[in-house]
Structure 1
């Protein structure tokens, strides 16, 4: 008796209903930095059922359907199911030319030759501030907190935004940020002593200027700056850092009061300053 026969028999005995569309969110197409792009919104499962509740908002860079949206939303929901981090509204920001949109200008001739379009991160950030955030805040029930998350070039954008426009978001997560860009210029920037929002940083096996840029940045963080640095140079590759560390980043930025997390190994394995969140 074949498997196909068994499946056919089962369906005949208990006919399935007609398949229905599975809707997981909403999308808006906007123009920024010379290109149309999707802004994808995934609401918490209880959003409609709890009309009086308000939610944090996570802005996920590289957040198109063909980029990191589904993985990011899945890991966030997994964390919420376990009580590891709070549930939230996910806003996925599609990127089209990542170097152009996520990185500032570079004085390095090799980088300028390889990525001639790079350098418009300031314009992309202004678009987030002037267009995307006001749209989300007007349309959805948010609780007033907003978190920016990105990896690699998007991680550089996260750190640059934290340094230049800290009040734009409540907290920041830069996973394996490309701090080698422009001869590590971002890590050489004078930050002063002002306390900025909490910052999650991580380092995988990148080595070289990416690693030295990270170590320099850690050394110049303001004294009172709350941060969580996850050193995974011996455990993770650059290609595995986002899905490996996003749950920890969300646990740091959106903590819960769950008292069972350590029992299940869901602990923050990072160097921290600024006390518990």
Structure 2
């Protein structure tokens, strides 16, 4: 019996089950998928090259037809490890397999991410070029996103994440270009920019336009609300009118207003991180933000999947419901579980002496992953456990036809000897 890595939710925690090496995939391809792919695209809009990186899901195989939602991360080279830490710990139950894209803002950052031109900022002259957010949005929509879509297996379900000026850019994208992304995370956004120009525009649009199907998560780092006065707290900050609290007051004002606009359909939440600074708040925000944005993705009644007493008919009904939820949100037919979990539940039920349930999960994995050698191999192991070598050989042969791996050939030979 081989062992699998598989994530199960057990009343709010994740159960780790043993795990095999990925013997069923081509080694060179596996290494390629796990590596971060760097690229650069020349932008006619920006008149310059723009660097980016792409991280494909661990389960990606070129022969499969599965397509993935995409996360676009502004300041992608500085926040890459932060997003990767969250994603690698929460995919499975909390998050689907997704393609991650990090966009460089290392040069011309202020120009690209700010929403209007200013000459002064917090009492000092602004030497940087400003106000290029609309141009940078055009680059994303008309150049980078089409490039990613043409070169990687994507669906149009996209999430945008930005911090500070990029948080300002993120909210501007939602307010003025909501068709590009479904989800938005604005981390400590600079809504004080240009005397709260975007904040004022956002309040008008949030009250009059529809944002049905869109989600936004906003954070505020509140460890240092005022550079000089320790007595400034969340309880009294809105009474202060100084330039030093304008940043935080702008986020609070926007968030309270957005939360009150129930009629526009925006799925909105925000959180104050009392123990975080501007530089530390991206990590907890991305974690909480992604869990909020993908709350619909989490399993319904997870305990029933883990309970041996749950009838198979009820499991089938739950899986059908989950499939409908995923398909509705992603806009394309979507399996009710990622392939690792379908396989994992199959092996779990084999170990618990519930072969009928095991067969159901393995069969479903083949249905949704018909080009996966691993799915057929798992079904072969099921038949071996039932002493049905004829069917086991049939599924092993299919796995060998798909992959050409010697591992399957050896398994076929060994089973034939039996």
Q: TM-score normalized by structure 2?
A: 0.53
**Correspondences of 1:52-201 after superposition (within 5 Å):** 52-64=65-77, 67-80=78-91, 83-95=93-105, 96-107=107-118, 109-110=120-121, 113-189=125-201, 190-191=204-205, 192-196=207-211, 197-201=214-218
Distance 2:172 2:210 in 1: 15
Shift in Å, 1:115: 4.0
Instruction: Work out the CA distance in 2 between the residues paired with 1:249 and 1:97.
Output: 27
2:254 maps to 1:217: yes
Quick one: structure 1 residues 195 and 251, their matched pair in 2 at CA, closer, same or farther if it must change by over 3 Å?
Answer: same
Is the Cα contact below 8 Å between 2:188 and 2:251 reproduced in 1?
Answer: no
Count of matched residue positions in the alignment of Structure 1 and Structure 2:
238
My pick for the range that moved more, 201-210 or 105-114, is 105-114
Secondary structure at the aligned position of 2:35 is classed as coil
Q: Which moved more, 1:142-151 or 1:184-193?
A: 184-193
CA–CA distance in 1 between the matches of 2:155 and 2:90? Answer: 19
Is the helix fraction higher in 1 or 2? 2
**5+ long unaligned stretches in structure 1:** 1-20, 262-276
Q: Return 5+ residue gaps in structure 2 as ranges.
A: 1-30, 226-244, 304-328, 330-418
**Correspondence for 1:250 among 290, 311, 314:** 290
**1:174-215 deviation per Cα after TM superposition (whole angstroms, max 9, x unaligned):** 011111111121111121422221111111126311221112
RMSD: 2.4
Pick from 278, 281, 292: which aligns with 1:238? Answer: 278
Determine the structure 1 residue equivalent to 2:268. 227
Residues 22-65 of structure 1 show CA distances to partners (whole Å, capped at 9, x for unaligned) of 7513222123434322121100000117712221100000112x
Q: Which has the larger radius of gyration?
A: 2
Evaluate the alpha carbon distance shift between residue 87 and residue 115 of structure 1 in structure 2; reply closer, same or farther with a 3 A threshold: farther
CA contact (8 A) 1:106 1:181 kept: no
- Kept after mapping to 1: 8 A contact 2:119/2:126: no
Change (3 A) 1:27 1:253: same
Question: Cα deviations across residues 118-157 of structure 1 (Å, max 9, x unaligned)?
Answer: 2111101100000011111122222320110111111110
SS at match of 2:179: helix
Q: Where do 1:15-54 residues align within 5 Å?
A: 24-32=35-43, 33-48=46-61, 51-54=64-67
Decide whether the 8 Å contact of 1:104 with 1:120 is kept in 2: yes
CA distance in 1, matches of 2:284, 2:81: 15
Change (3 A) 1:184 1:108: farther
Higher relative contact order (CA 8 A, sep 6+): 1
Length-normalised TM-score, structure 1: 0.78
**CA contact 1:154–1:174 (8 Å) conserved in 2:** yes
Alpha-carbon distance change, 151 to 260 in structure 1, aligned in 2, over 3 angstroms: farther
Q: 1:36 to 1:49 in 2, by over 3 A?
A: closer
CA contact (8 A) 2:82 2:282 kept: no
| Partner secondary structure for residue 172 of structure 1 | strand
Distance 2:291 2:62 in 1: 25
